[in-house]
Structure 1
Amino acid sequence: MTQQFKHGLLLAVFTYAVWGLFPLYFKLLAGMPADEIVVHRIIWSAFFTVVLLLAVQRLKGVRHSLCDIRLLGRLALSAMLLLANWLIFIYATLADDVLQLSLGYYINPLFNMLFGFILFKERTHRMGIIAIGLVFTGLAIQFAQVDKFPILAVLVALVFSLYGVVRKGLKVDALTGLFIETLILLIPGLIYLFCFTSQQSITAIEHSYYWLIVLVLAGPITSIPLITFSAAVTRIPYYLMGFCQYITPTMMFAFAIFLYHETWNRLDIVTFMFVWAGIICMVIGTWQANKKPINLAGK
């Protein structure tokens, strides 16, 4: 096990643990529209990342990256996927659908594994195929609830997996990449802030240090795990990123059931049972695969 592999694994565990705490943070912003929260995430993330770039004297790298048209195009795509993920996540949290977010991040490793196998030629294992079948069976059960199919769960899983795919193929460091992503979103975000933000939100921010402080914290809270995610995804195989991701939905599931007391019916329980069975298969398969020498470069 190389030093790079160890660092990547630690970064992945830290990243997903922080993301698991996100519902607690966004619940603090209940009462503010999801789109306005996203705008503040963009603005304060851009501010926080530029401060970091100045601190580590990496602005030259940003200028070099801004001159690469192909790289900018890829980062624009990842920025759009990031924006979609933020909107879905915040909307679901404020709508008391943390359970759906939990389901989404449970099934996300399936997309990671499929994309890793198809796009990056990473090896998979038989237990992984069984896991895919189990999870899709669990999702199929949800079709029985026509009015409650977990569309948010499927969307958040697909969108974030595609974001990881795009970022994995980019030759840009994590901090620079995130700054350019937020920079791409910054001008539309500022236009939205000044032209479409409700007067009620503006008044609340102007007269309450609470709202201002919580919104400013969106900068480091958003940026730090994204930086560590981008750093981790270039150091370890993509399937292993999916394995570490189980930390996030497990924390969210616990919050949804025990803290927010969200309701779930028998079909929801059955679906989660299939998903958890799939996870067990993934864990067993990954453990068996790692008993043998693996190609840490993912080639």
Structure 2
Amino acid sequence: MNQGIIYGLLAYLAWGLLPLYWRLFQTMPAWEILAHRMVWSFVFVALLVTVARRWRQLIGVISSGKSKLAVCLCAFFISINWFLFIWAVNNGHVIETSLGYYMNPLISVFFAVIFLKERLRLGQWAAIILAAAGVVIMAVQYGHIPWVAIALAVSFAFYGLAKKMANLDTLLGLTWETLVVVPISLCYLLYLQTQGTAAVLQLSGFSLVLLLLSGAATALPLFWFAQAAKLLPLSMVGFIQYIAPTTSLLLAIFVFHEPFTEGQLISFSFIWFALIVYSIATFTKTKSQKSLKKAA
């Protein structure tokens, strides 16, 4: 249990602090950062696969058409999610990224109803309605829908669905997801190089080393999360996950000095209350299911 908590804290703190990392490359276009992230993530996980001697397993895990489609969908949705996050961080929308990842669990639950035909309790429906009210309030205040937050939450929820369909372990799944997009990333980086517009050439030696380490910065939190998920009850993992958007929100306000208005506070309050309602409803549901199993 203690090990699981440590792994969970490491994973979600790392994700919450990622805005600090991507801000180091603010002079680079988001597409170029994403291409480098994909390439170096693949290099890092390929080294891990080599050390673990799992290349044969890697080829065998996507033998069916369904698994190949699922891996391609995973690669597509995580690419969108990563691009949006990098772009938002470097364009002063960290508060919206925080809102998006607060909303993500509720969007995932909503998708489970639509695509997996799962049934929700009244409390879980109430949580989704409260979250929707929070988004509407922010939309009214902004004068437009907070599309960054919604796009991040929706793309990651679709990624979660695709992951469920692929049903691969963390290392092999991430290897395939990056492998699918590495050829496109390399072609794009080569094109920038031949055009003489590659922003990476403007980086200092230290920044360049940090960019090469983006593979480790991407993969390690995923492995920590996988370990936490194995060692901890799902309800505890669900609670710890709010560390990431909370950390990002605090960074946005106190480090990046993004304005946090009264309207945003009201909107976030609806989301926070929705998450409390959802957590209580989910915990009660899990507890009652365990009681029924024991009785049986």
Structure 2 distance, partners of 1:169, 1:13, is 27
Displacement after TM superposition at 1:284 (Å):
2.6
The residue that corresponds to 1:214 in the other structure is 210
Q: Per the alignment, do residues 139 and 74 of structure 1 end up closer, same or farther by CA in structure 2, a change over 3 Å counting?
A: same
Query: Distance between the aligned counterparts of 1:294 and 1:116, measured in 2?
Result: 21
Tell me the residue number matched to 2:247: 251
Residue 109 of structure 1 contacts residue 245 of structure 1 at CA under 8 Å; is this kept in 2? no
Q: Does 1:80 align with 2:80?
A: no
TM-score by length of 2: 0.86
Pairwise CA distance, 1:219: 0.5
Partner of 1:29, secondary structure, is coil
Q: What is the rounded CA distance, in whole Å, between the counterparts of 2:256 and 2:215 in structure 1?
A: 25
Partner letter of residue 201 of structure 2?
Answer: T
**Contact in 2 for aligned 1:43/1:189 (Cα 8 Å):** yes
Which residue in the other structure is 1:25 paired with? 21
Q: CA deviation at 1:119?
A: 4.0
Quote the Cα distance in structure 1 between the aligned partners of 2:90 and 2:116: 36
Are residue 144 (structure 1) and residue 140 (structure 2) matched?
yes
Q: Bigger CA drift: 274-283 or 10-19?
A: 10-19
Paired position in structure 1 for 2:165? 169
1:203 aligns with 2:192: no
Shift of 1:261: 1.3
Question: CA shift at 1:111, angstroms?
Answer: 1.1
Closer, same or farther: CA 52–8 of 1 in aligned 2, 3 Å: same
CA contact (8 A) 1:110 1:132 kept: yes
Equivalent position amino acid for 1:58 in 2:
R
Which residue number corresponds to residue 186 of structure 1?
Answer: 182
Q: Unpaired segments of 5 or more residues in structure 1?
A: none
Q: Deviations over 1:132-153 (max 9, x none)?
A: 1111111112232454431000
Alignment of 1:281 onto 2:270: no
**Matched letter for residue 145 of structure 2:** F
Distance 1:22 1:277 in 2: 25
Equivalent residue pairs, number: 290
Unaligned runs of 5+ in 2: none
The structure richer in helix per residue is 2
Q: Is the 8 A contact 2:34 2:82 kept in 1?
A: yes
Tell me the SS of whatever aligns to 2:28.
coil
What is the distance in 2 between the residues matched to 1:135 and 1:219?
33
- With structure 1 as the length reference, what TM-score do the two structures score? 0.86
Q: Work out the CA distance in 1 between the residues paired with 2:3 and 2:162.
A: 21
State the identity as a percent. Answer: 33
- Can you list the C-alpha shifts for 1:139-194, whole angstroms capped at 9, x where unaligned? 11223245443100000000001101110222322111111111110100000001
Counterparts of 2:143 and 2:259 in 1: how far apart (Å)?
A: 15
Q: Measured at CA, do residues 260 and 86 of structure 1 come closer, stay the same or move farther in structure 2, by a change above 3 Å?
A: same
Residue 209 (structure 1) shift: 1.5
Closer, same or farther: CA 291–13 of 1 in aligned 2, 3 Å = farther
